[in-house]
Amino acid sequence: METKVIHYDLAKLPCQALDGVGARLGERLTEYGLNTVQDLLFHLPFRYQDRTRITPLGRLRSGDQVVVEGVIELAEVNRTRRPTLLIKLWDGTGHLTLRFFHFTPGQQHLFKPGVLLRCFGEVRGWSTQFEMVHPECQPVTPHMPPHSQDSLTPIYSATEGINQRLLRQLTDQALALLGEGYLPEYLPDQILNSFQLPKLADALRYVHRPPPNASVEQLLQGTHPAQQRLAFEELLAHHLSLRRLRQNLQINLAPTLPDNKQLTSALLNSLPFKLTAAQARVLQEVKQDLTQPNPMLRLVQGDVGSGKTVVAALAILQAVENNYQGVLMAPTELLAEQHYQNFRKWLEPLGIKIAWLAGKLKGKVRNEMLEMITTGNAKVIVGTHALFQADVQFNRLGLVVIDEQHRFGVHQRLALREKGYSEGLYPHQLIMTATPIPRTLAMTVYADLDYSVIDELPPGRTPVQTVVLSDQRRHEVVARVQASCCEHRQVYWVCPLIEESEVLQCQAAETTAAQLTEYLPEAKVGLVHGRMKSAQKEAVMAAFKAAELDLLVATTVIEVGVDVPNASLMVIENAERLGLAQLHQLRGRVGRGAIASYCVLLYQHDRLSQIAKERLAIMRKTNDGFMIAKRDLELRGAGEVLGTKQSGVMQLKVADLLRDSHLLPKVQQAAEIILREFPERVEKLVRRWVAHREKYGEA
């Protein structure tokens, strides 16, 4: 009689179908995100231990994690203040001491002279004086295999109630089912052969249970071909998800906004500068998008000071010319306020009313702004998250501009798009970022967006020279500030905090302002920080811009501060506490004119970590935003730099955007093949890797 072979769909087979998984453990696994056998197979080890070979005691090195075997020569309890069980092993090549600070009478009984013991642990010590503290131990019996294990030991991320032994047991069962179960291969042979990729099942088996001869170094770095095979499929699934999303969004309709050139020409003629070639090129791409009947979805990337805001203003004017509203949303009140002031300066002379909406607006002023927005009296609206609130109703919203989009949550961006839906039309979207992203990376992370780069700074800018100094040389810096003020050059002095904090040991802006006023009696010192009222803050900023102040002491609010070409020196205290992107943004406040400009990064010499040292060294070496962004990616990881940790974008299980960036061109080629020749596999790939997280891209 023929045996019937049952093929399980491992994507649907629950973990509770495995031996030893009851209702309670099943709940724990579900809480940890392991619902099915497929989930277990894609829960990959993050490191490995080599227990496949026994290391002679004479070849031990400090720091190694190894399996050893030896005969117990001595077992005794050292009766000091803290009793310690000491075991001395010998294997003919050398000695090793085992040290147990916590032990039981049963262990004392087990560890007797003459017993052959097999142990696993980390070697400590030097020369021939090696020891292991609390190793895993077991007596060697005649029936035990000569080698401890036939594969490297995987270490998984675990949680309370789900330990390593359990995960290995469950994964063993899952791998057994991989042979008789059903985990389909969605990559066609054409792609597997072209890019020399192993089969999915083979890759999973290898990554979970690498053979003894596997390269531990490759596995730990995530560069083994089996891991790269899984990373490739995951990146492909995310890319296809975004491409499909783009196709779905293109079905939607948007208002057609022809370029009438009246208001845009008026603004261009009134500006005291000409657009750079890069600004003009990007503006033309945006204008062309706005004339189409489908929603624009364009990312504009530009370094600090490249002039993204004026491009946004000109795009909004194209909507206003067609009797639609344009809205610009920024992640902080300070940044939104800066955009509001720029828009007022540029657009109010053209007869355009601008509404401003932020969380701090209350009562009568807020109601007036809401009425301007609802009636359409305000054609341009600038604001923060407050734009999402239920009582905000747009009149005819034609264009949404989102600044520093990665700092918004997914649902917030989606909410603003939905708010603008009217008469069957969705608003166009223009997304801006000052975080330079390598092109191949941007084309993967933002595959649902068209992509433009303002890769040119306005003429007349001078590169800023950056100096890194210990705070022990603070007096020299004060002397340099004094010299700048005497030369009628203005100075920024930036402090990360507003008031003293013993915990963070940061200089407070208020204290620093008082000290500098005392040290430099001839200089006019101003102070600005985020807790000041808007009117106060604007007055101080305006005074600094008008050269009525020599020195502006500020918190990081000036990251998006006023444009003061006469400011040629910036001092940043506690620079070791700030990230690369923020340091680069702050430094962008100087060097805006033809004067030689300097940025001094002061650090606390006793609080300088290795990563802070690297950041400061990078700032000293380069002004190139792309280079800084690349190093920022390496130091912090793509998740933080691109905001994906907060927003849910590209939450990757296996792949690493930086490490695996070399795969991205191949991923894009493979996506074209699948979309063209195997469109039925798109949904399956997306469901396997992205599933419920896919909706993020609609924002």
348 in a structural domain? yes
Model confidence over 556-603: pLDDT tens digits?
A: 766 555 678 899 999 999 899 888 878 888 898 888 777 889 999 999
- 520 lies in the same domain as 495: yes
- 66 lies in the same domain as 40: no
Which parts of 143-276 fold into alpha helices (H)?
A: 164-180, 189-194, 200-208, 216-221, 225-251, 262-270
- 398 lies in the same domain as 372: yes
Are the CB atoms for 380 and 352 separated by under 8 Å?
Answer: yes
- Residue ending a domain, among 399, 420, 454, is 454
Higher pLDDT, 98 or 506: 98
- 173 lies in the same domain as 188: yes
Percent of the chain with pLDDT over 90: 50
Does residue 27 register a pLDDT over 80? yes
- 425 lies in the same domain as 285: yes
- Residue ending a domain, among 204, 223, 242, is 223
With the CA atoms of 113, 119, 122 and 126 taken in that order, what torsion angle do they form, in degrees rounded to the nearest 10?
40
Average pLDDT on 195-206 reads 95
β pairing state of 428-433 and 450-454: unpaired
pLDDT at 181: 63
- 44 lies in the same domain as 60: no
147 in a structural domain? no
For residue 114, what are the domain limits?
A: 53-139
- 349 lies in the same domain as 404: yes
- 43 lies in the same domain as 84: no
- 129 lies in the same domain as 161: no
pLDDT band at 647 (very low <50, low <70, confident <90, very high): very low
Angle between helix 509-519 and helix 474-486 axes, rounded to 10 deg: 60
**β-bridge mates for residue 119, sequence order:** 68, 137
586 in a structural domain? yes
Are the CB atoms for 505 and 516 separated by under 8 Å?
Answer: no
What is this structure's pTM? 0.70
pLDDT band at 5 (very low <50, low <70, confident <90, very high): very low
Residues 6+ apart with CB under 8 A from 499: 508, 510
- Residue ending a domain, among 114, 139, 164, is 139
593 in a structural domain? yes
- 269 lies in the same domain as 123: no
* Alpha carbon distance 690, 42 (integer Å): 12
Model confidence over 662-683: pLDDT tens digits?
A: 898 999 999 999 999 999 999 9
Angle between helix 664-677 and helix 682-689 axes, rounded to 10 deg: 140
Higher pLDDT, 131 or 433: 131
684 in a structural domain? no
472 in a structural domain? yes
β pairing state of 47-49 and 153-155: antiparallel
65 in a structural domain? yes
- 440 lies in the same domain as 516: no
Q: What are the tokens at 386?
A: 């407050």
Average pLDDT on 506-513 reads 77
570 in a structural domain? yes
One-letter amino acid at 247 equals: Q
DSSP state of 650: T
Q: What is the CATH number of the domain that holds 87?
A: 2.40.50.140
pLDDT at 502: 41
DSSP state of 385: G
pLDDT at 695: 43
pLDDT at 638: 58
Q: What is the CATH number of the domain that holds 538?
A: 3.40.50.300
Q: How far is CA 56 from CA 65, 68, 90, 117, 118, in A?
A: 13, 7, 10, 13, 12
Higher pLDDT, 618 or 497: 618
pLDDT at 423: 87
State the average pLDDT for the chain: 86
DSSP state of 54: B
pLDDT band at 1 (very low <50, low <70, confident <90, very high): very low
- 385 lies in the same domain as 440: yes
Give me the number of domains the chain comprises: 4
Q: Roughly how many angstroms between the first and final C-alpha of the chain, as a whole number?
A: 58
pLDDT at 559: 57
